[in-house]
Structure 1
Amino acid sequence: MTTTLDSPRRKASAYLYRKPKLRLGILLSAPMLWLGLAYLGALAALFVTAFWSTDVFTGQVVTEWSLNNFLTLFSDAVYRTITLRTVGIAALVTVVTAIIAFPMAFYMAKFASPRARRLLVIAVMTPLWASYLVKAYAWRTMLSGNGVLHWLLNPFGLDTPGYGVLATVITLSYLWLPYMILPIYAGLERLPNSLVDAASDLGARPFRTFRSVVLPVTFPAVVAGSIFTFSLSLGDYIAVKIVGGTSQMLGNVVYDNIGAANNLPFAATVATVPVVIMLAYLAAVRRTGALDNL
């Protein structure tokens, strides 16, 4: 007679206990399957569609392989300008958010009391709970000719930047700032205070301490934050529609070709550009070894 200890369930449990890698593989099988089908499958379909074309008379997708979309994308000066503008805006947003985020994160990690630290973390995360559109339109109102910024700058003889590339950078920097603050804050929390004290005892000035001690330790955290801000800015198309004026980014080209132009293959071709740029960026970051310490 089979005892409880000899039941199939007990045997399977004991076997999986002895095989931790197999147990981990079974646990990850469902999410990895979903990742493969929903994400990697969608990317594969995107890349395949980029090589197709659209019949100019019927508007139907022609499933014949061709490089015409890529030739149009790289030979047209307008698309090259939009690509450079998109990369420039994403890079500038990343730099601006890093400059603003570092002192804020440093104060939170090294000077604020535990109670104030918790409150500051909540304050940083609170804007993430608000609607993207509400925040973007709030900046549109502030950047307008009769907005808050005009009221503040007018006494000094200055005016608001209006709508355009600068307004897009300001809006995106505000939107993605928490994604830079939180990784840097986490990295600074791992920085031992004894290292900073030792640098000071050895006669290092504040800038030397920052350059030789603080920055190397927190560099992986800055890289992690830059991945978020750079990729999110690279694929954004809503903020530039709201505050960008006549400026366009790659996301706007994708949106217009899906909607008004009804040219899905060319939209897929344009959409591959941010993906390739991010893959190249991640490869460059990986070569520096920064991701190994995250």
Structure 2
Amino acid sequence: MTVDTASPGQRIPVPPHRDTLARRGSISLSRHPRLRLTLMLSAPLLWLGLIYIVALAALLITALWTVDSFTGTITRSWTLDNIITVVTGSLYQTVTVRTVGVALLVTLIDILVALPIAFFMAKVASPRWQRILVIAVLMPLWASYLVKAYAWRSVLSQNGIFEWLVAPFGGETPGYGLPATVITLAYLWLPYVILPVYAGLERVPDSLLEASGDLGGKTWATLRLVVLPMIWPAIIAGSIFSFSLSLGDYITVNIVGGANQMLGNLVYTNVGAANNLPLAAAIALIPIVIIFGYLAVVRRTGALENL
């Protein structure tokens, strides 16, 4: 029989069966790493399942209900009317095309801006400057989302900073609308694209770049044939962030988008002012289907397997 020490000078006897069970459990876990991994991941996986899978199931079920036109209460009768309305309605088709177009444009801009920044951070800057630049990329994430959105509203307004900068060259501010929405969203999600690309570039050995140069490879050929294939999974990871976040955004559109609407605005309107939760749930299924389709296409390229 073993003993536990409760405090200095005091020894409490431990029952033999408790010591035996603990020893057997420890031996079993050490011999079965998969069992140890399963027990370790069971709690977070259960939580993720409740948050995402159950929430998606509830969303789908809600989309199959209706709202009584007289009382405004939800009628729990199964029907596909909301989904048919969303799929066939010209308004929803127009807004869906606009939303996907904005999300794709934001993603493309972020990738084009993130690549040179991440390359300089990973391959050109000294270790000290790398740390400084990483902090500089992360600093915008410390500020409030609304503060950044309203700051861009001020920058892009009439007589704002942007107009003051481009006026000497004959330019003018885009004002409020889709261009302002794209600019603001591209700024908001840029750190989420820079960081994965930076991590991917850090894994590219410098010896490969040197070997390409020794074999006569020019800069653009090296970037296109050596670097780009190796960081493609990182680019895909960053694009998933910017695309999905832009697809569901509605606050920025309200602040700088003018009269334009995106799918998130339609969901917000039907949840709040219209008080039509089933229709809002049906509209919310559109970006979910789009992002699942995007992930399926990306998965076929094999990029997700290398993340």
TM class by smaller structure: over 0.9
TM-superposition CA deviations, 1:56-106 (whole Å, max 9, x none): 111111111111112111222111010000000000000000000000000
Distance in structure 2 (CA, Å) of the matches to 1:226 and 1:195: 25
The answer on 1:39 being equivalent to 2:61 is: no
Structure-2 residue corresponding to 1:116 = 129
Deviates more, 1:89-98 or 1:58-67: 58-67
**CA displacement at 1:128 relative to structure 2:** 0.3
Aligned to 2:237: 224
Paired with 1:5 and 1:30, the residues of 2 have a C-alpha distance of 25
Q: Once the 2 structures are TM-superposed, how far is the Cα of residue 5 of structure 1 from its aligned partner?
A: 9.1
- Selected match of 1:79 from 47, 69, 92: 92
TM-score for both structures, normalised by structure 1 = 0.97
2:220 paired with 1:207? yes
Q: Which amino acid aligns with 2:30?
A: Y
- CA drift of 1:38 comes to 2.1
Q: Which has the larger radius of gyration?
A: 2
Equivalent in the alignment of 2:176: 163
CA distance in 1, matches of 2:283, 2:188: 24
Q: Is there any run of 5+ residues in structure 2 with no aligned partner, and where?
A: 2-14
CA distances 1:245-286 after superposition (whole Å, capped 9, x unpaired)? 001000000000000000000000000111111111111101
CA distance in 2, matches of 1:229, 1:44: 25
- 1:257 maps to what in 2? 270
In the alignment, the residues of structure 2 paired with residue 240 and residue 274 of structure 1 have an alpha-carbon distance, to the nearest angstrom, of 16
Match of 1:188 among 197, 201, 215: 201
Say whether residues 1:177 and 2:190 are aligned partners.
yes
Partner in structure 2 of residue 137 of structure 1: 150
For the aligned residues, what is the CA RMSD? 1.3
1:53 & 1:220 partners in 2: Cα distance?
42
> Aligned residues, how many?
294
1:205 partner amino acid: K
Question: Structure 2: how far apart are the matches of 1:291 and 1:55?
Answer: 45
| Unpaired runs of at least 5, structure 1 | none
Q: Distance in 1 between matches of 2:152 and 2:144?
A: 13
CA distance in 1, matches of 2:283, 2:89: 12
Residue pairs, 1:29-68, within 5 angstroms: 29-68=42-81
State the secondary structure of the residue aligned to 2:172. Answer: coil
Answer yes or no: is 1:104 the counterpart of 2:117: yes
AA in 1 matched with 2:233? P
- Give the distance between the partners of 1:147 and 1:166, measured in 2 at CA: 16
Distance 2:68 2:171 in 1: 52
Residue 53 of structure 2 aligns with an amino acid whose one-letter code is L
**CA deviation profile, 1:99-155 (whole Å, cap 9, x unmatched):** 000000000000000000000000000000000000000000000002101111111
Q: Which moved more, 1:107-116 or 1:70-79?
A: 70-79
Q: Tell me the distance in 2 between the aligned counterparts of 1:216 and 1:248.
A: 37
- Rounded Cα–Cα distance in structure 2 between residues aligned with 1:26 and 1:273: 36
SS at match of 1:14: helix
Paired amino acid for 1:67 = L
Q: CA deviation at 1:157?
A: 1.6
- Quick one: distance in 2 between partners of 1:4 and 1:195? 60
For residues 248 and 208 of structure 2, what CA distance do their matches in structure 1 show? 39
Worse overlay, 68-77 or 115-124: 68-77
C-alpha distance in 1, partners of 2:18/2:165?
77
The alpha carbon displacement at 1:7 in A equals 2.4
